[in-house]
Structure 1
Amino acid sequence: MDSGISGIISCYNSEAFIANTLDSIFNQTTALSSLIIVDDCSSDATIDAVHRYVTARGLDAGTVSVLPNRINLGISMSYNLGIMACRTKYAMLFSHDDISHPDRVKSTLNAFAEGAAIVCSYMDVPASGQKITLPEMPSLVALGLALGNVVPAPTVSLDVDIARQNKLYFNPQNDYAEDYDLWCQYILRGYSFHVVPEFLVAYTLHDQQASVTRQAHQKLVAERVRLQYLRSLFPFLQPEQSEVLVRILLYEKHMLGHISQSFNEAILNGMEKQSVAPGVQSVYGYVRQMLTSPVSAPVTVQ
């Protein structure tokens, strides 16, 4: 397997956006080894637009491969097909309509060189001025996922070997929140997010996005994923109790001293009895330190 990094794009009716996205991919300061484009049975001229771009750039089949789905399979299966077709050690996931910073590949490879299994970064939304950041401490990212999807999907890259060995693929049953579900599975399988504290992707807003066209369904699926993750993370608590605990740990640390002794002991005893993967163990380490140390004490658990 090539030690480099490939890009994977899942496209569906991307004709209006794909050229700008491809420009940002091929203007990287460190080049991708290859790009895999999975077209999910687009009804517009997406594939023609890709072929025109490839020809104009003088790119060859070894650099860009186009995999057209014969039927619409959905975003999960399309990305999975791209991951399975990948011949490099790492894969960078691209949205068909977002713009990558020129140093995205370079910064991501630096993170993988430090031993990361899955990498993400900050993301900005130029149309709204929003800046999406997340904590660099892996245990805080894991806790944040218990309240919602804090990881910007268009910024994620992964170690292909780890994904394949652990069958860490997108679940089509959770389409429209498939990314959220997969991030939770990484934590529960023992892996942590490496956060690159740079704005490496610019998110494009438009009215064709699933977050607009399938908003209600997306919320339902995301809530189901969240509750499943909460139950897996803290199986010894009720989901409502787990949510209160996480909110206090992330946003209301001044309330730690007001947790009843019996609840505190139930949490500590529950964690002690669990046999969990390293990713969850790091979360438990953080929770344990926060519950047993003064709020002002420095946090060292990763």
Structure 2
Amino acid sequence: MKEHEKPLVTVILTTYNQEKYIEETLTSVFYQTYPFIQLIVIDNASTDGTMAIIDCLRSTAPAFQIIRNDINAGLCKAFNQGLALAKGKYVIDLSGDDIMIADRVERQVECFENLSEDYGVIFTNGCYIDNLGRRLNNHYRVDENGRSVAHIPSGDVYKNVLERYFICTPTMMMRTDILNQLGGYDEALLFEDFDFWIRSSVRFSYYYLDEILTLKRVVPASLSSMVYRKGSGMLASYYAVCNKAYDLNRDQQEFDLLAARIRTFIRKCLYAQEFDLAIRFRSLLNYIENPGWQTEFIVLLCRLHLPVNFAYRFYIKNLKKAPAQEGFGF
């Protein structure tokens, strides 16, 4: 591909109170081997020194755009603010504490340019790091050559998305036009990934590039840690996405997979003491199949309002130390 033919890539970086990590994250964008990058930074009303660091870097780094929100607009709305300004053929959604390996954009663009137009997303393996930048484990286990030891779904992954969490979210590069077709992220939700996977994979193919190109930081305040917090709103967002999937499903197998996923969310509702939401999940499940005695028993426990949240969060904190591999995370 000739230099003048290389497409522009928009990196939308959303940040909130990430003064410890934002400089390293921004630097990982500045030092990409691929030169055709539009960087848009959206600060979601940080109250720490995040913006001071961004302003300092702006005086010496390549030019980039900044949006400063007066209030925390939420992740999805902040991303959509950047998407409205995106000029790139492809988009990367980057958190203010994750790190891109130097040739990430180059490798993903090269791959995308060799795929047909029905491919909307490229994702890769990723490596989890702690707050000090120490490597913990990979999203997918790898062999001595750094290749995934398991088969990772590619192509039509809609059924796989219904079945389980398996995509490392920050590794994705997306076609800008499909994001626009979908109306961007759903701003009514607390998170973007499950909803985006459902709405996009039913229409577009995904491609797995078997390389580690992103370092994903694991911090206690991450959204994934909130799913078991009572009243966090996470499970309510999952309920909304399950309703969307119900409307999008194309065959009985997909309804079976959705039913199994709904059962897991009912259990999570018990652990998070989201009792009323568990009953709503159960009603949705009943449209697909008979819930069965095991699920009905869990719903009964929810109706009894058992105070199990503290005990379960203690278990999560002390026994689940590292992020899940092979896509069997929360």
Report the Cα offset of residue 76 of structure 1: 0.2
**Aligned pair partner of 1:152 in 165, 168, 175:** 168
Question: Do 1:146 and 1:243's aligned partners in 2 also have CA atoms closer than 8 Å?
Answer: no
Amino acid at match of 2:206: F
Specify which of 179, 195, 205 is matched with residue 163 of structure 1.
179
Q: SS in structure 2 opposite 1:47?
A: helix
Q: Aligned to 1:142, which of 143, 158, 166?
A: 158
The RMSD of aligned alpha carbons is 2.6
Rounded Cα–Cα distance in structure 1 between residues aligned with 2:196 and 2:257: 24
Letter in 1 for 2:154: M
Query: How far 1:148 moved relative to its partner?
Result: 3.0
Give, in angstroms, the shift of residue 71 of structure 1. Answer: 2.3
TM-score by length of 2: 0.64
Determine which of 105, 118, 121 is the counterpart of 1:118. 121
Structure with greater helix share of residues: 1
Cα drift, residue 215 of structure 1: 4.1
Residue of structure 1 in register with 2:216 after alignment: 203
Q: Please say if 1:232 is aligned against 2:271.
A: no
Contact map agreement 1:118 1:158 (CA 8 A) in 2 = yes
- CA pair 238-49 structure 1, distance change in 2 beyond 3 A: closer
Q: CA deviation at 1:181?
A: 0.1
Match of 1:185 in 2: 199
Distance (Å, rounded) in 2 between the aligned partners of 1:215 and 1:96: 24
Distance 2:204 2:258 in 1: 21
Contact 1:31–1:105 under 8 Å retained in 2: no
Shift of 1:32: 4.2
Task: Give the Cα–Cα distance (whole angstroms) in 1 for the partners of residues 226 and 256 of structure 2.
Answer: 30
Q: 2:136 aligns with which of 129, 139, 143?
A: 129
Counterpart of 1:212 in structure 2 is 225
CA distance in 1, matches of 2:216, 2:68: 25
- 2:224 and 2:205 map into 1 onto residues whose CA distance is 26
Separation in 2, partners of 1:227, 1:74: 22
Is the 1:10–1:37 contact (alpha carbons within 8 Å) kept by the matching residues of 2? yes
- Aligned runs of 1:1-302 on 2, under 5 Å? 3-55=7-59, 58-60=60-62, 63-115=63-115, 116-127=119-130, 129-133=136-140, 135-139=152-156, 141-164=157-180, 166-176=181-191, 178-188=192-202, 190-213=203-226, 215-216=228-229, 217-222=233-238, 224-226=240-242, 228-229=244-245, 232-234=248-250, 236=252, 239-240=255-256, 243=259
Deviation of the 1:172 alpha carbon? 1.7
Deviates more, 1:224-233 or 1:202-211: 224-233
User: Aligned residues, how many?
Assistant: 236
Residues 148 and 220 (structure 1 numbering): CA distance in 2 closer, same or farther, change over 3 Å? farther
CA contact (8 A) 2:30 2:61 kept: no
CA 202–10 in structure 1, closer or farther in 2 if over 3 Å, else same: same
| Structure 1: tracts of 5 or more residues without a match | 246-302
Asked if the contact 1:145/1:226 (under 8 Å) is kept, the reply is: no
Q: Deviations over 1:106-158 (max 9, x none)?
A: 1110122023322211111134733213714223x322211233222211121
Relative to structure 1, the CA distance from residue 155 to residue 238 in structure 2 (aligned partners, 3 Å threshold; closer, same or farther) is closer
**In structure 2, do the counterparts of structure 1 residues 240 and 3 end up closer, same or farther at CA, with 3 Å as the change threshold?**
closer
- Can you list the C-alpha shifts for 1:193-238, whole angstroms capped at 9, x where unaligned? 1211111111111122122245444345335524642552245579
Unaligned 5+ runs, structure 2: 1-5, 141-150, 262-330
The separation in 1 between residues aligned to 2:223 and 2:260, in whole angstroms, is 30
How far apart in 2 are the matches of 1:241 and 1:36?
37
